[in-house]
Structure 1
């Protein structure tokens, strides 16, 4: 989809001289924890570091594949995604964290978003005729890989917000009753931009905290079991993109 006439953008994402040409599927790691662990995997595999704003980009020189991050929040995530697409990236697999809304989700469970209720301000600048959909083939392949690794996974709709400190228990309960299973900060915008640019994208969300109407917020970011699950998922995804 392009822009023309008075709608022509001031700055278009593009590959500049000397910048890498990406190929094959890759990982956009939202959170600093996974991004740091991903760097270790890329270094061990002999990947080359490239520039990507104040984030990181690592490229497999041997046969395609790349890894980028961190990129917390919709604006930064989209800034990175736009540049990655301009460099030739795709398909894109995003790894992020989410708070559980659904009562049957536990810390360490995995959600594959299929749609999002957007309360972020980035995606409205990318007009689409229809809501974005995840890449079904890629989603199914990921489900199979996760099942083979005995990692619990489910599909579902999520709530995307720019303001985690303004989430209220009233909204948690309203959106839970509406069938949303988790809350996070990037998916609605990333899915919209990917659809706008014609690139396949799926996101994998690791449940990192619980929001329950009858108890205080329950974060688990620093729990050993959560960190072990995060590492296992990251390694699975790293090998997944390595297979093309």
Structure 2
């Protein structure tokens, strides 16, 4: 049985168009999707943050320190469908570069809470990517943006670079999947990257993602004790790296 159910859907034209909303004096061209709510709250309270609500799928603030070229988006629902609808909305307004920042589950026994991972491909175990790209196993981020983000993070933190497993069903992650994907070298599990990478590729945008390991899947079960004192500083650091990376990119356009 094919998935999506209508075979060849990725080649077909959609009925509902993506349309720009009401024009606004601020015109960001890059956005960071910030999943940790506490971190987004801190960013939105910065003196240079200006609210710019042109998506009903998240709260959007432009950062004056970037000449309002970079927006941070929070209050997000989890999962690829929500992330991709948000990307479509922002893309219609002129945003072309996207970075996901958030926590993820670790798959490797050598990992610990607070480890930073830069994603270089995403296993398409969710549904959204299959509505954009032909059948395939992986969705990939923009290489140039990923390399730039890697260099910026590396200046302040140690990090690993590798694949992620994107799923729609965190309560259906199985031991058999864990063992198989761990043996392939997949580092993390999360719920958005594959969808965002796929949609960005189709729309001609650039997308990248970086995560901090906050919990772990192990042979003996889920280790869900999130050590905030190890995770939060790393999330704040990679968020600043993402903002800096995106700001620099806008300056060369």
Q: How many residues align?
A: 235
| Corresponding residue to 1:81 among 77, 87, 107 | 87
| Corresponding residue to 1:27 among 32, 57, 65 | 32
Q: 1:221 deviation in Å?
A: 3.5
| Corresponding residue to 2:197 among 191, 203, 215 | 191
Alignment pair present for 1:233 and 2:235 = no
Are the equivalent residues in 2 in contact too, given 1:132–1:191 (CA < 8 A)? yes
Are the equivalent residues in 2 in contact too, given 1:38–1:234 (CA < 8 A)? no
Deviates more, 1:67-76 or 1:11-20: 11-20
Residue in 2 that maps onto 1:223: 228
- Segments of 5+ residues of structure 1 without an aligned counterpart are 1-5
Q: 1:51 deviation in Å?
A: 3.4
TM-score of the pair, normalised by structure 1: 0.86
- Segments of 5+ residues of structure 2 without an aligned counterpart are 1-10
Residue in 1 that maps onto 2:106: 100
TM-score of the pair, normalised by structure 2: 0.83
SS in 1 for 2:52: strand
| Corresponding residue to 2:54 among 51, 67, 85 | 51
Q: 1:163 deviation in Å?
A: 0.5
Are the equivalent residues in 1 in contact too, given 2:120–2:146 (CA < 8 A)? no
Deviation string 1:140-195 (CA, Å, 9 cap, x unpaired) is: 2212211211x121111111100101111221112111221111111110100000
SS in 1 for 2:45: helix
Map residues 11-22 of structure 1 onto 2, 5 A cutoff.
Answer: 11-18=16-23, 22=27
Residue in 1 that maps onto 2:8: none
Are the equivalent residues in 1 in contact too, given 2:103–2:212 (CA < 8 A)? yes
| Corresponding residue to 1:152 among 130, 152, 158 | 158
Q: RMSD across aligned C-alpha pairs, in angstroms? A: 2.3
